[in-house]
Structure 1
Amino acid sequence: MNIAITGDTGLIGTELKEYLRDNGATTVSLSRNKVDIHSIIELSKRLSGVSTVVHLAGVAHNPNASHDDYYQGNVVFTKTLCQHIATANSRNLCNVTKIIMISSIKAMGESTRPGEPFRHNDDCEPEDDYGKTKLAAEKQLREVCDNAGIEWVVIRPPLVLSKKVRGNLGLIQTISQKGIPIPLAGIDNKRDLVSIHNLCSVILAAIKNPNKLREVFLVSDGKPLSTPEIIEYATKTSARRAKLIKLPQFIRNTLTQHQHKHGLLRRLFGNLEVDINHTSKTLNWHPRKEP
């Protein structure tokens, strides 16, 4: 297997390269500092012998990014990449048969109702620039690939867990190391996450699947965690574990009532569950049990 990867220098890309190589694949970098995707000739040279492209690159959560930053980095970049691959194919400069895009569960929305997980064919209602441009990028992928006869796969992961804790989990880890109590004990919500291993394994399953795939897949570890459990996971390898305390009930009630207005509160108190039955059945894939 010769697999090309955009964004292969990022957190997921670095892990994916190692995982694919461990499973017998040869990987080709489509990092922007390695190839100019605006040059069809240069791109096609990198794609010589490549059957599948895994598209990871894009603008992720960045408080300093504007809407245009997200649009250019996610939508325009995806459209350009797919169009140029299709053109190179049509000129017999390469023969890419499948493009797999790693999108985000945020393309569907920010939260779910109790007992009503996101399903792969649900209507999408993204709320922020990141989620909206990921959904728009998926549309560009589908349109270009359908017109060019290229298989496409969209994978929408929730929060990805790895040994390199980052973002809000990294902040929690830092707070814990300082011995500062975290007032989030007793929250009984359900949030699906996915380990980097399980994400890489579902990507490989999509690469190897022999069927003509034009599908959206949701992925998770198969067991949602509460906010306190997520915090415990983030600090389990730290020298100092998280010290969780309960907020007074009236404060918790107030925060819960207003969570729909604030993204952070929704992530702390709300639910985000995904149904992976379609993924498991179609790809004959099952997540490895994670701690």
Structure 2
Amino acid sequence: MKTLLLTGATGFVGSALLTHLCAHTQYEVRVATRSEPAADLAQTFKTFNVGDFSSSPDWGEALAGVDCVVHMAGRAHVMAREKDALSLFRRANTDATLELARHAIEKGVQRFVFISSIGVNGAYTPSTAFDETCPANPHADYAISKFEAEESLKALCDSHAMELVIIRPPLVYAAHAPGNFQRLLKLASTGVPLPFGGVRNSRSMVALENLVDFISLCMVHPRAANELFLVSDGIDISTPDLVRCIGRGMGRRIVMLTIPDPMMRLMASCIGKQNLYTQLCRSLTVNSTKARQLLGWIPPVTTEHALVQAGREYINARSIQS
């Protein structure tokens, strides 16, 4: 039995990966945490409280005998009151990642799987879909820190035996997804008309179930070694169709208003939500052919099924809470 060390295990993707690994792999799973782990986590897995990842923690005991590290812990947001966002992102996402990788090499870890972001490629695709050959064009401080981590990891692993796998997912979605997808679920559940009737975009996304399945494959597949993957469901969808699928899961017909794109842009700018406009109204498509052809990966669920299920689970959870 091989041994895996997972960081970010209490996050949205990390907790789902833990559940998946328990059901589908023969790995002995260890979890590294920043603080004292919850009782249920500590009872189920061997946990190591290493403290703040950004403060040069002692990784020695956690990494002893580990074959593979899956690193998804990091910083995704900076509070408005915090200054120098790029510096904070670099400390958590670049420097801490490189420090962990150095310790992993010292301990003889065979493979390091790093969960990056499609933001490394850019905020949107004007024409052709992103693929692994596209030049990096990180659009925000978070994406810059992820790209710098990728480059540092490649330079480090090039001179050592540890294999590196980099995965750049686009929007990851499920009923309990954070961020803008959660806001979209909430809006759809209210029954108010939504302003997406005139949106003609195309978005690549990856269902949470598909992403954790792909990560687990990259942990073990020989041909994943030292490769970069852009991963998605493989089917692109417009924002109006996305909302309709969510609505079907909720048992509701979503009414959508047709608002001209220039007005949508102006409204988003006036309320300081330009990023939200980009994510909901512009196109961002990913060509994930490499994942399928090189590794033979087949996503377990389709986009339509996963979106309908997300809507259904969201409404059911709301019903239980009320």
Superposed counterparts of 1:105-120, under 5 Å: 105-114=118-127, 116-120=128-132
Matching residue of 2:24:
23
**Cα distance change on mapping 1:62 and 1:193 into 2, 3 Å:** farther
Q: Structure 1, residues 54-108: CA drift from partner, whole Å, max 9, x if none?
A: 0000111445362222111111111111112223x2xxxxx31000000000011
State the distance in 2 between where 1:255 and 1:245 align: 11
Report deviation, 1:269: 2.0
Matching residue of 2:60:
44
Give the counterpart letter for 1:215 in structure 2.
E
Matched, 1:269 2:278: no
Retained in 2: the 8 A contact 1:190–1:271? yes
Matching residue of 2:317:
none
Report deviation, 1:112: 0.8
Matching residue of 1:92:
none
**Cα distance change on mapping 1:39 and 1:263 into 2, 3 Å:** closer
How many residues end up aligned between the 2 structures?
A: 279
**Cα distance change on mapping 1:211 and 1:267 into 2, 3 Å:** closer
Matching residue of 2:261:
252
Superposed counterparts of 1:181-260, under 5 Å: 181-211=193-223, 213-238=225-250, 242-247=254-259, 251-255=260-264
Give the counterpart letter for 2:31 in structure 1.
S
Retained in 2: the 8 A contact 1:118–1:273? yes
Calculate the aligned-residue CA RMSD, in Å.
2.4
Q: Give the ranges of 4+ consecutive aligned residues of structure 1 lying more than 6 Å apart after TM superposition.
A: 256-261
Listed as ranges, the gaps of 5+ residues in structure 2 are: 36-48, 305-322
TM-score, length basis structure 1: 0.87
Report deviation, 1:16: 0.2
State the distance in 2 between where 1:212 and 1:16 align: 18
State the distance in 2 between where 1:28 and 1:222 align: 31
Retained in 2: the 8 A contact 1:172–1:234? no
Retained in 1: the 8 A contact 2:193–2:257? yes
Aligned identity (percent) is 29
Listed as ranges, the gaps of 5+ residues in structure 1 are: 90-94
SS in 2 for 1:30: strand
**Cα distance change on mapping 1:198 and 1:128 into 2, 3 Å:** same
State the distance in 2 between where 1:182 and 1:143 align: 47
SS in 1 for 2:75: coil
Matching residue of 2:141:
129
